[in-house]
Amino acid sequence: MNIHDRIASQLPAWRERVSRLRKEFGALKVGEVTVEQIYGGIRGVQIQVSDISYVDPLEGIRLRGYSIPEVIDYLPKVPGAEFPMAGGLYYLLMADTLPTEEEALEVEREWCRLSEIPGHVYDTIRSFPADTHPMTLFSAAILALQHYSEFANRYAERMYSDDGLPKADFWKYNLIDSTSLVAKLPGIASYIYNLKYRNGEIVPYRADLDWGGNFANMIGKGGDARYQDLARLFLIIHSDHEGGNVSAHTAHLVSSALSDVYLSCSAGMNGLAGPLHGLANQECLRWLLNVREHFGGNLPTREDLRAYLSQQVNNGKLIPGYGHAVLRTTDPRFTVQFEFAKKYLADDPIFQLVRLVYEVLPAVLAQTGKVKNPWPNVDAINGALQYHFGVTQFDFYTVMFGVSRILGLTAHIVWARALGKPIERPKSLTTPMLEELTAKAQPVPVVRVPVLD
Ligand code: HAX
C-alpha cells in the first residue's frame, strides 16, 4: 500500500482518538508551568503532541516507537548495504508502519521521478555571494521551490470557490509537496556542495541508486561504497527528534498558519542553522581540530586532556557536542556512529580524540554541577566521520543534517494537517505581571542536582 492510502486508512481511528481526548478530557490538566520555565526557554513544558517520534531522556530517540538499532535492523536495505534506504524510513515516519521492501522501493522510485530541480533554484543558489553559509543557500533554495506548492495553489483556489479544497484534505496536498521537496534535497544539497567546494557540476539523479546513495554520488562519492553507507546512516539518524526541538517546533509553528511545506521547512532550516542546534556539528569538528592543534597534532594523555578541558569549562566555554535539552544519557545516535567508527576507522586520529574526550569530558562537565546532561549528543562524532571520508568542509555538515531532518519535519506537518491542528498561539505575560503574582508567594527556588551515573 502506498503512503497516501496507508495514512487515509488510519485517519478515521486517529481522528476519533484525538476527538475523544479533546471532548471528554479537554479541561484535564497535564502539567504546570513554573516561573523558571517561562524565562528558561519553556523547557520541559508539555505543550505538544508528536506521534512521529519520542525522546526518552534515558533511552534516546524512538522513531514511530522503534529505537535507532531497531530502525537499522528492521527497515529494508539495498543489496550489500549495512544501513537502510531512507525511502523506508520516510514510509515509517509518514505512514506509521514498517514498510515492505517493495513499499520502500516505491518511495525511492517516486523520489527519483520527482527529483528534477527547476533551473531558477540553481540560479537562486548562484546569486548569493560566494562565501554565503551553505545553510543560507539551502534554506533559500527550498524557499525558491515554494512557487510549486500544490497545497498553496489549491488553498488559494479554495478562497474563491465553494467547492474548493476541504480542510479534511489539506494533508493530502501537504504530502504531495513533502514528497516532491524531499525528492529534490540530494540535488539541492549536492549542488551547494559542488558549487562551493568542487567543480560546480549538477549531477543527475540515478534510478539505480537509493536517495542516500544518490546524495553520496552527487557529491563525488559514487565510488566509495563505505561512504554511501555512512551517508545512509547519517540521513536516517538525524531525521527526527520529537516535536519540541527548534527545527521541528519552528516548522510546525509556521505550518500551523497553513503556510505550505516549503515555507515551513525553510523556516525549520533557519532554526537548524543556529549554533545551539544543528550548527553544533560543524562547531564540534572545529573544536576537535583546535584541541588537536593545541596538543601539537598529537593525541594528549588522559591527564593533560582532563586539565585542558577543566580549564575550558571553568572559563565558561561551551563544549560543542555535549549536553542536551532533553537527553540525560549518551545519545544513541552518537553510539551507532561510534560503533561504525570503531569498526572502520579505529586508527583515525580525530576519532581517537573523540574517544578520549568521551572518556574524560562527562566527569568534567558533571563537576560543574550545572550541566544537566554531561554526555555526548549526536554532533560529538558526526563531523569526525565525515572528515575521515574526505568531506572536510565542515560548514556543509548542517546542510546534511537538514536534508535528513526534513524527512521528520514533513511527517509532522502532514499529520498536523491530517488531525486538523489549529494555528498555534500561546500567551505572553509581562515581568510586572509575574512580579505581582509572586509578591505574596513564599520563595521556591529551583534546586539543581548534578547528573552523572
Ligand atoms: N559545555 C559547557 N557548558 C555547558 C554545556 C556544554 N556542552 N552544556 C550545557 N552547559 C551549561 C550551559 O551553558 C548552562 O550554563 P549557564 O547556566 O551558565 O548558562 C548550564 O550548563 C545548564 O545548561 P543545560 O540546562 O544543561 O543545557 P540546556 O538545556 O540549556 O542546553 C544545549 C542544551 C544542547 C543547548 C547545551 O548543552 C549546549 O549548548 N551544548 C553545546 C552545543 C551542542 O552540542 N548543541 C547540539 C545539541 C544537539 C542538537 O540539537 N543538535 O542539533
For the cut 90, the answer to whether the pLDDT of residue 78 exceeds it is yes
Q: Locate 13 and state its grid cell.
A: 481511528
CA 319 to centroid of ligand 1, rounded, Å:
8
Query: Any idea which residue has 483556489 for its cell?
Result: 157
Distance, in Å, from the CA atom of 153 to the CA atom of 420, rounded to the nearest integer, reads: 19
Is the residue at 450 inside a domain?
no
- Same structural domain, 153 and 180: yes
Domain end position, chosen among 331, 355, 388: 388
Residues labelled catalytic:
277, 324, 379
Task: Take atom 41 of ligand 1 and give the residue whose Cα is closest.
Answer: 320
Query: Any idea which residue has 515492505 for its cell?
Result: 100
Q: What is the mean pLDDT of residues 219-231?
A: 95
- Same structural domain, 166 and 240: yes
Stated as kind and residue range, the H or E segment containing 285 is: helix 280-294
- In 94-198, DSSP assigns E strands to none
Distance, in Å, from the CA atom of 277 to the CA atom of 220, rounded to the nearest integer, reads: 28
- Please, which pLDDT band fits residue 449 given cuts at 50, 70 and 90? low
CA 371 to centroid of ligand 1, rounded, Å:
7
Ligand 1, residues 377, 401, 449: which to mutate, most atoms within 8 A of Cβ? 377
- Same structural domain, 81 and 222: yes
Task: Take atom 39 of ligand 1 and give the residue whose Cα is closest.
Answer: 276
- 283: nearest Cα among 397, 385, 435, 181: 397
- 39: nearest Cα among 385, 438, 347: 438
- Amino acid present at 148: Y
Q: Quick count: other Cβ atoms within 10 Å of Cβ 91?
A: 27
Question: Is the dihedral angle over the CA atoms 87, 245, 255, 33 positive or is it negative?
Answer: positive
Is the residue at 186 inside a domain?
yes
Query: How far from the centroid of its chain's Cα atoms is residue 443's Cα?
Result: 39
- Sequence-distant (6+) residues with CB within 8 A of 431 are none
Distance, in Å, from the CA atom of 307 to the CA atom of 24, rounded to the nearest integer, reads: 58
CA 279 to centroid of ligand 1, rounded, Å:
13
What is the percentage of the chain residues whose pLDDT exceeds 90?
89
- Same structural domain, 271 and 180: yes
Q: Locate 144 and state its grid cell.
A: 525558491
For the cut 80, the answer to whether the pLDDT of residue 447 exceeds it is no
Query: Any idea which residue has 593533560 for its cell?
Result: 304
Q: pLDDT of 248-294, one tens digit each? A: 999 999 999 999 999 999 999 999 999 888 888 888 999 999 999 99
- Same structural domain, 254 and 224: yes
- Please, which pLDDT band fits residue 163 given cuts at 50, 70 and 90? confident
Predicted local distance difference test score (pLDDT) of residue 450: 47
Q: What is the mean pLDDT of residues 192-208?
A: 96
- Please, which pLDDT band fits residue 453 given cuts at 50, 70 and 90? very low
CB 53 within 8 A of CB 206: no
Predicted local distance difference test score (pLDDT) of residue 448: 64
Q: Quick count: other Cβ atoms within 10 Å of Cβ 123?
A: 10
Phi, psi (degrees; rounded to nearest 5) at 105: -65, -30
Residue 288 structural domain: 280-388
For the cut 80, the answer to whether the pLDDT of residue 159 exceeds it is no
What is the percentage of the chain residues whose pLDDT exceeds 70?
99
CATH code of 347's domain? 1.10.230.10
Ligand 1, residues 311, 372, 379, 405: which to mutate, most atoms within 8 A of Cβ? 372
For the cut 70, the answer to whether the pLDDT of residue 451 exceeds it is no
- Sequence-distant (6+) residues with CB within 8 A of 107 are 3, 87, 88, 90, 91, 99, 179
Predicted local distance difference test score (pLDDT) of residue 281: 84
Work out how many domains the chain is built from and give that number.
2
- Same structural domain, 289 and 221: no
CATH code of 150's domain? 1.10.580.10
For the cut 90, the answer to whether the pLDDT of residue 157 exceeds it is no
- 319: nearest Cα among 309, 328, 327: 309
Question: Is the dihedral angle over the CA atoms 213, 73, 410, 425 positive or is it negative?
Answer: negative
Predicted local distance difference test score (pLDDT) of residue 212: 97
Per-residue b/e over 231-260, b at no fewer than 16 CB within 10 Å? bbbbbbbbbbbbbbbbbbbbbbbbbbebbb
Distance, in Å, from the CA atom of 127 to the CA atom of 257, rounded to the nearest integer, reads: 30
CB 210 within 8 A of CB 84: no
Is the residue at 4 inside a domain?
yes
Task: Take atom 10 of ligand 1 and give the residue whose Cα is closest.
Answer: 371
CA 192 to centroid of ligand 1, rounded, Å:
30
- 158: nearest Cα among 170, 143, 146, 174: 170
Is the residue at 79 inside a domain?
yes
Q: What is the mean pLDDT of residues 221-234?
A: 95
Q: What is the DSSP code (8-state) at residue 324?
A: -
CB 272 within 8 A of CB 439: no
- Same structural domain, 92 and 228: yes
CA 249 to centroid of ligand 1, rounded, Å:
18
Distance, in Å, from the CA atom of 318 to the CA atom of 421, rounded to the nearest integer, reads: 37
Q: pLDDT of 282-329, one tens digit each? A: 889 999 999 999 999 999 999 999 999 999 999 999 999 999 888 899
Average pLDDT over all residues of the chain: 95
Q: pLDDT of 7-62, one tens digit each? A: 999 999 999 999 999 999 999 999 999 999 999 999 889 999 999 999 988 889 99
Residues enclosing ligand 1, CB less than 6 A?
245, 276-278, 280, 313, 318-325, 365, 370-373, 377, 379
Q: Is 311 exposed, middle or buried (0-12, 13-18, 19+ CB in 10 A)?
A: exposed
- 356: nearest Cα among 411, 299, 280: 299
Q: What is the mean pLDDT of residues 207-222?
A: 97
